[in-house]
Amino acid sequence: MSALPLSGIKILDLTRVLAGPLSAQMLSDLGAEVIKIERPGTGDDARAFGPPYLVDPEGKENNNNSFYLCANRGKKSVTLNIARPEGQQVVRELAKDADIFMENYKVGDLKRYGLDYESIRAINPGIIYCSVTGFGQTGPYAPRAGYDAIFQAMGGLMSVTGHIDGEPGAGPMKVGPSIVDYMTGMNTSIGILAALYHRDANGGEGQHIDVCLLDTVIASLSHYAQIYLVNGQTPPRRGTWGNGGMPAGVFRCTDGELMLVVGNDAQFARTCAVLGEPGLADDPKFVKNNDRVRHGKEIMAIFAGLFLKQPVAHWLEGLEKAGVPCGPVNDFAQVFADPHVRERGMEVKVDHPFEPQLSLIRNPLTFSGTPVKDYRAPPLLGANTREVLTSKLGYDEARLDALKKQGII
C-alpha cells in the first residue's frame, strides 16, 4: 500500500478557531505533518468556546472541548508566545523547513512580528503561505474581524434561508452549524494543494494564497446568486422547499417527518401513485414541473394532507421502491445509528489521554490506494513542544527550560 498522499509535506499551522484548523486537519489526515502553534496557557481560541468538554481523569477543568476536538486531530501542539522576539525567532526557524505556512491573523498583524509572507519568503522562497481571514487581504473591510454568522448575514446566505414569507417565524435565518467556516476550510485545502502542485510538478515557486469567508459564502450561493446576476431579483426564502423540482420539502407524517424531492415529471407521477392519488399527475396544473412550480402552494398543501395519513417508514418504503428521492429527517443519534453511515465508517475511534475510545468524524475522502486509516487524537495543549523543538531545531533541555522560564513556550 502506498504512503498517504501528502506524506513528507510539512505544515506550520498558526490558524485558530475553525476554518483554518479544519483545513490543516484535512491535510494532516492526508499524511502531512502539521505543527500547530498555540498560545502558552490558553491555546487556540476554540479551546474556550464552551462545553461540552472531555472529562479530565482527575476531574480538573480542561480546554479540550468539542469545538477544538472537531478540527485538530493528527496535529502536534507547540506552545509559543509569538508576541515575543524569541518566540518569533522559533517560528522563523521552523518555517525554514516547512512546505506550507498557514495563518488566520488580522491583516497586517504578523508583519509586526516579522512573520508575514514577505518575511517568511525571504528565508524560504518555496514556501506556500496561506492567509485565511474574514474579508481577505484587500478591500475596505480587510482589517475587520468576524465570525461565521457575520458572513452568513453579509454574504447573502441568511437572506435566502428561513421560513417562507407569510409563515410564522418568517425572516432571515442562520444555518445551524458554522457552514461558512467549513466551506472556507475546504477552499483553503484546494488552494494549498493547487499551489503545492504548481511548485513541485510545474517547476513553479512558492506563493501567497488569500482565502476569506466572505468570498467563500458568496461563491457558495451558486445558482441562487446567479439568479440575481441574470435577472436582478433575489430568490425568495423557501423554507424546506426545493430549488428546482416540485413538489419538494419536508412533509409531516403520523410519527415524524421526511424530506421529499420530486425531480422530474416521471417521478411526480410515481409519487402520486404511491400516495394513492394517481390522477394528480394528469391534472393540467401539475403535469409539467414548471406548472407545479407556478402552483407550488397548492400542490404542497395537497401532498401535506396525503402524507399525514401514514408513518414515515410506510412512505419511505413505497417511495424508495418507486425510485423517488426521499429520506427521513434524522437527529444526530439517528444519523450515527444509520446502517449506511455505520458501513461508511463516518464515526472513528481514537485513543485520547482523557478518553481511550474518543469518537470523531472521519475524513470524508475515500481513496482506493492510499486510504486514511490512522487517525490520531487532537493534541493536549503544548503536548509536543519539547519533542518538536528538540527534533526539528536541536534545542537541548537547558534551552527549553530557559524558554519555559521566560514564558516563551
DSSP code of residue 100: E
- How far the first Cα of the chain sits from its last, in Å, is 39
How many other C-beta atoms can be found within 10 angstroms of the C-beta atom of residue 177? 11
Chain centroid to CA 147: 14
- Taking a C-beta distance cutoff of 8 angstroms, is the pair 11, 51 a contact? no
353 vs 375: CA distance, rounded Å: 14
Active-site residue, 44 included: no
Name the grid cell of 12. 506550520
- Taking a C-beta distance cutoff of 8 angstroms, is the pair 383, 354 a contact? no
- Taking a C-beta distance cutoff of 8 angstroms, is the pair 51, 354 a contact? no
Look at residue 355 and give its three-state secondary structure: strand
- Taking a C-beta distance cutoff of 8 angstroms, is the pair 135, 146 a contact? yes
- Taking a C-beta distance cutoff of 8 angstroms, is the pair 316, 254 a contact? no
**Under the phi-then-psi rule, with left for phi > 0, alpha for psi from -120 to 50, and beta for the rest, what region is 128?**
beta
Give me the torsion for CA of 141, 142, 143, 145, rounded to 10°: 80
Active-site pick, 116, 148, 181, 215? 181
C-alpha angle 35/39/45, rounded to 5°? 95
Residue 132 pairs in a beta bridge with 211
Residue type, 248: A
- Taking a C-beta distance cutoff of 8 angstroms, is the pair 3, 370 a contact? yes
Residue type, 196: L
Q: What residues contact 136, with CB distance under 8 A and at least 6 apart?
A: 142, 210, 212, 214, 215
| Catalytic positions, written as ranges | 181
